[in-house]
């Protein structure tokens, strides 16, 4: 026991050993948050205050859940496997599987991922004859998800105009279709679970009694529904231990409510607010920069990180002529660092948006520096994997129209759009699934679709009773998928991935001993939806790490490069246009980026950057100005960096000659009475029609007519 609490600092100790009351832990970056969470659980159990059975621990990512489980099992000698530690979605899934009947779901209900959801909405629009230009499917998905995340069903949605009226109708149709097919989307897992507990008194009482301690990680990322779900489960007197950092809330754009942290204080009358402010990660200068940046945000609960690690190195700043120039600089520094003995995996290259990785990758590749890019297509989201899974889903649930349509003509078997229209109309009339309606088709469509149905039926018979991996293998082979990719030119990778899927099934059986409700297949398919990203090959190589700032949250590195620090890019102009809240979220993002670094931090920007196929002229990010000068060392000579116009002679060429217009050049710095200092980004028209686009930094990007706007060259 004393071991357990050894080496905790006073606030950490206070948090871990909090009496059984609600607690809100404001845990700064690098302050030992995960340690506090796991030690708290271990302490509660080992002091006999609660059994493993009475703990509910919630995280946002599978990775965090796994790490928590692993650390916990190393702290206390208990079997953590049966414990309720998992993601919001994972735990809701577990609960719904256990009570599928009460929740009104089929035992084998499947989970739609975002792509499946989008496909379903598109299909719905087509069936309902709704113009998808007027009602963009993506926007509708967002509309539906946002409502679910607010706990609002179609029937309760607020209608304030005709347009929304229509969207709500589509929402209702979507709900109906999901129910017909027996599938749920991500938000539905939570909402369904919430409603079940709310409606079913005995069930609610059972779980309220059971979970005596509820612990929540990354509390700042919870949305309205998750908050309500927690509150419901805690309603029987459980103690809620919420850990979060309002300064690291970077998911507002997908529904996270930082406000939940303030609400928590109120709703739980939390007298116990503990701040973990000692940072064990970064050197002093880095931390000072982070503090200086985040200080500019108004909406904060307040917290100041400190360290006793010493100042460390200054922050290195570099202003490049172009994105290419920036990439060269970064790669050159990396080569030097590696020569000096820095481990490549301890070097991170961060950027605001994924599109920025390309230049960097190219330069790394050219200079033979091994690197790994995070983000991008995940294993279970690959086309060939989704196809194989669709066949498997049809075996488990023939009513799954999404799966049906995905593979009914893949590989092609002569079932064209005509036949499918026919089939969908029939299904609509019969109010049944496509699979069911197939039997009623006549003519050629009846023949071809009938053959497909027979294929699925025979797959089902042949795989009956087979172990999961063999079942998967059989389906891949006999469905014609394997053959299709064997003949395709680019099919080799896909075949390998399909083999990998068979391996994943084998591993799954070994790990889980398998079999929840509904058998191994259903559990495996659930895993594929809920943990799409977990299965990533090629980790742990000696490679430099490239990722977006979002993806870097929760990680740390000896050396961090934050690239593309330009106004409009980071902070991103879309966020800035959202107003002050948008800018504050961008600033938190910058804060997250800075606090990833242990020993050395580079910040860089470029004066020109290729974006969306055209050269943009950029001003340095306002965040750079927020880092105190005395913490920084500028790496390029001032004289070279003053002109915003790249010169041919100074650099290896490759720049387009800026066209002249009205005496103003692209790249020219100008002053406007209202918007201040800006850089001309592009021009249009001649003479009286001439217009110029000017990037005014903080005041945004503007198109101005030269005839009216007074622009003074600076």
Cβ neighbours of residue 519 closer than 8 Å, sequence gap 6 or more: none
Give one DSSP letter per residue of 221-253, joined into a string: G--HHHHHHHHHHGGGTPEEEEEE-GGG---GG
Letter string b/e over residues 334-345, b meaning 16 or more CB atoms within 10 A of that residue's CB = beebbeeebebb
Q: In Å, how far are 247, 471, 565 from 318, measured between CA atoms?
A: 26, 56, 10
Binding site feature residues: 27-34
Residue 392: both structure tokens together: 């498997």
Q: What's the Rg (C-alpha) of the chain?
A: 28
Residue 123 has, within 13 A of its CA and on its CB side, a CA count of 23
Burial environment of residue 289 by CB neighbours within 10 A (0 to 12, 13 to 18, 19 or more)? buried
Q: Which residue in the set 39, 62, 249, 285 belongs to the binding site for DNA (CB under 7 A)?
A: 62
CB of 628 to DNA, least distance (A): 26
CB of 325 to DNA, least distance (A): 18
Whether 596 is catalytic is: yes
Burial environment of residue 484 by CB neighbours within 10 A (0 to 12, 13 to 18, 19 or more)? middle
Catalytic site residue from 281, 587, 596, 665? 596
Q: Which residue in the set 106, 467, 533, 628 belongs to the binding site for DNA (CB under 7 A)?
A: 533
CB of 681 to DNA, least distance (A): 15
Nearest to 416 by CA among 406, 426, 408: 408
Cβ nearer to DNA, comparing 89 with 600:
89
Whether 693 is catalytic is: no
Q: Strand pairing partners for 684?
A: 691
Cβ nearer to DNA, comparing 262 with 413:
413
Whether 69 is catalytic is: no
CB of 550 to DNA, least distance (A): 3
Q: Which residue in the set 129, 412, 461, 487 belongs to the binding site for DNA (CB under 7 A)?
A: 412
Q: Is residue 639 a contact point for DNA (CB under 7 A)?
A: no
Contact of 566 with 621, CB cutoff 8 Å: yes
**Strand, coil or helix: what is 358?**
helix
Whether 400 is catalytic is: no
Nearest to 350 by CA among 598, 550, 118: 550
Max Cα separation, the chain?
83
Cα–Cα distance measured from residue 275 to residue 36, given in angstroms and rounded to the nearest whole number = 12
Q: Is residue 87 a contact point for DNA (CB under 7 A)?
A: yes
Cα–Cα distance measured from residue 177 to residue 529, given in angstroms and rounded to the nearest whole number = 19
Contact of 20 with 586, CB cutoff 8 Å: no
Catalytic site residue from 14, 17, 34, 424? 34
Judged by CB under 7 A, the stretch of 199-207, 320-328, 495-503, 605-613 that binds DNA is 605-613
Write down the residue that tokens 């699925």 correspond to: 456
Q: Is residue 372 a contact point for DNA (CB under 7 A)?
A: no
DSSP H helical ranges for 618-698: 622-625, 638-641
Q: Is residue 415 a contact point for DNA (CB under 7 A)?
A: yes
**Distance from first CA to last CA of the chain, Å, rounded?**
68
Q: Which residue in the set 300, 316, 460, 550 belongs to the binding site for DNA (CB under 7 A)?
A: 550
Q: In Å, how far are 142, 148, 672, 687 from 710, measured between CA atoms?
A: 42, 49, 6, 15
Q: Which residue in the set 82, 613, 659, 687 belongs to the binding site for DNA (CB under 7 A)?
A: 613
Cβ nearer to DNA, comparing 254 with 633:
254
Cβ nearer to DNA, comparing 66 with 166:
66
CB of 684 to DNA, least distance (A): 17
Whether 218 is catalytic is: yes
Nearest to 471 by CA among 389, 381, 546, 399: 389
Catalytic site residue from 12, 33, 97, 553? 33
Q: Is residue 218 a contact point for DNA (CB under 7 A)?
A: no
Q: Is residue 382 a contact point for DNA (CB under 7 A)?
A: no
- From residue 92 to residue 121, the character string flagging contacts with DNA as x (rule: CB under 7 A) and all else as - is ---------------------xx-------
CB of 588 to DNA, least distance (A): 10
Judged by CB under 7 A, the stretch of 296-304, 412-420, 537-545, 560-568 that binds DNA is 412-420
Judged by CB under 7 A, the stretch of 202-210, 261-269, 349-357, 451-459 that binds DNA is 349-357
Q: Which residue in the set 107, 179, 354, 636 belongs to the binding site for DNA (CB under 7 A)?
A: 354
Cα–Cα distance measured from residue 542 to residue 137, given in angstroms and rounded to the nearest whole number = 42
Catalytic site residue from 59, 248, 283, 615? 248
Q: Is residue 352 a contact point for DNA (CB under 7 A)?
A: yes
Whether 217 is catalytic is: yes
Binding site feature residues for ATP: 27-34
Size of the site for DNA (CB under 7 A): 46
Contact of 239 with 55, CB cutoff 8 Å: no
Q: Which residue in the set 530, 618, 619, 711 belongs to the binding site for DNA (CB under 7 A)?
A: 530
Which positions from 156 through 195 interact with DNA, judged by CB under 7 A? 186-187
Q: Is residue 355 a contact point for DNA (CB under 7 A)?
A: yes
Q: Is residue 416 a contact point for DNA (CB under 7 A)?
A: yes
Q: Is residue 563 a contact point for DNA (CB under 7 A)?
A: no
Q: Is residue 414 a contact point for DNA (CB under 7 A)?
A: yes
Active site residues: 33-34, 217-218, 248, 596
By CB under 7 A, name the binding residues for DNA. Answer: 60-63, 87, 89-90, 113-114, 122, 186-187, 250-251, 253-254, 352-355, 358, 375, 409, 411-417, 530-533, 547-548, 550-551, 572, 574-575, 578, 589, 610, 612-613
């Amino acid at each position: 026991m004393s071991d357990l609490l050894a080496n905790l600092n006073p606030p950490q100790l206070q948090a871990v050993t909090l009496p059984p009351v609600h607690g809100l832990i404001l845990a700064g970056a690098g302050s030992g948050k995960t340690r506090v969470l796991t030690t708290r659980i271990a302490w509660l159990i080992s002091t006999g205050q609660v059994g493993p059975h009475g703990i509910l621990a919630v995280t946002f990512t599978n990775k965090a859940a796994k790490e928590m489980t692993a650390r916990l099992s190393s702290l206390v000698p208990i079997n953590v496997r049966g414990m309720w530690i998992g993601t919001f979605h994972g735990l809701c899934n577990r609960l719904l599987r256990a009570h599928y009947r009460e929740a009104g779901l089929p035992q084998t209900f499947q989970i739609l991922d975002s792509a499946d959801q989008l496909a379903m909405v598109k299909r719905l629009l087509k069936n309902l004859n709704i113009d998808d230009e007027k009602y963009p499917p993506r926007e509708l998905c967002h509309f539906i998800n946002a409502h679910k995340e607010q706990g609002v069903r179609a029937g309760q949605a607020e209608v304030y105009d005709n347009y929304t009226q229509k969207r709500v109708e589509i929402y209702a149709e979507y709900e109906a279709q999901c129910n017909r097919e027996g599938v749920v989307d991500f938000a539905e897992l939570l909402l369904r679970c919430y409603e079940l507990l709310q409606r079913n008194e005995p069930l609610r009482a059972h779980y309220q009694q059971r979970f005596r301690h509820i612990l929540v990680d990354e509390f700042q990322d919870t949305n309205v529904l998750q908050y309500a779900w927690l509150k419901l489960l805690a309603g029987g007197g459980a103690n809620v231990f919420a850990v979060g950092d309002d300064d690291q809330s970077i998911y507002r754009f997908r529904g996270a409510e930082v406000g939940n942290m303030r609400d928590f204080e109120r709703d739980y009358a939390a007298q116990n607010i503990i701040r973990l402010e000692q940072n064990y990660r970064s050197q002093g200068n880095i931390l000072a920069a982070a503090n200086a940046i985040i200080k500019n945000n108004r909406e904060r609960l307040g917290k100041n990180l400190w360290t006793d690690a010493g100042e460390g190195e200054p922050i290195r700043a570099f202003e490049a002529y172009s994105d290419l120039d920036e990439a060269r600089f970064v790669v050159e520094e990396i080569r030097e660092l590696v020569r000096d003995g820095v481990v490549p995996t301890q070097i991170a290259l961060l950027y605001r948006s994924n599109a920025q990785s390309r230049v960097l990758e190219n330069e790394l590749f050219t200079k033979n520096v091994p690197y790994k890019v995070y983000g991008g297509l995940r294993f279970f989201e690959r086309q060939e994997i989704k196809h194989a899974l669709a066949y498997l889903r049809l075996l488990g649930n023939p009513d799954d129209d999404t799966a049906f349509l995905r593979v009914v003509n893949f590989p092609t078997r002569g079932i064209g759009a005509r036949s499918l229209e026919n089939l969908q109309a029939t299904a609509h009339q019969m109010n049944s699934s496509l699979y069911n309606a197939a039997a009623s088709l006549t003519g050629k469509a009846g023949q071809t679709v009938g053959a497909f149905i027979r294929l699925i039926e025979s797959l089902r018979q042949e795989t009956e009773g087979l172990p999961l991996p063999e079942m998967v293998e059989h389906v891949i082979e006999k469905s014609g998928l394997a053959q299709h990719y064997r003949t395709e030119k680019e099919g080799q990778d896909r075949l390998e991935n399909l083999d990998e899927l068979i391996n994943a099934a084998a591993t799954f059986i070994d790990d889980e001993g398998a079999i929840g409700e509904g058998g191994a297949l259903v559990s495996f398919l659930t895993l594929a939806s809920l943990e799409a990203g977990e299965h990533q090959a090629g980790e742990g190589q000696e490679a430099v790490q490239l990722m977006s700032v979002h993806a870097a949250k929760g990680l740390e590195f000896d050396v961090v490069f934050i690239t593309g620090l330009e106004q409009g890019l980071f902070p991103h102009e879309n966020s800035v246009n959202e107003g002050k809240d948008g800018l504050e979220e961008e600033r938190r993002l910058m804060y997250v980026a800075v606090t990833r670094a242990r020993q050395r931090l580079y910040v860089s920007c470029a004066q020109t950057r290729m974006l969306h196929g055209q050269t943009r002229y950029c001003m340095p990010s306002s965040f750079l100005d927020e880092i105190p000068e005395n913490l920084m060392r500028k790496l390029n000579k001032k004289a070279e960096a003053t002109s915003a116009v790249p010169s041919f002679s100074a650099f290896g060429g490759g720049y387009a000659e800026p066209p002249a217009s009205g005496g103003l050049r692209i790249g020219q710095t100008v002053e406007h009475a209202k918007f201040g200092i800006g850089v001309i980004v592009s021009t249009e028209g001649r003479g009286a029609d001439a217009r110029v686009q000017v990037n005014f930094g903080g005041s945004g990007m503007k198109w101005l007519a030269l005839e009216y706007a007074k622009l003074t060259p600076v």
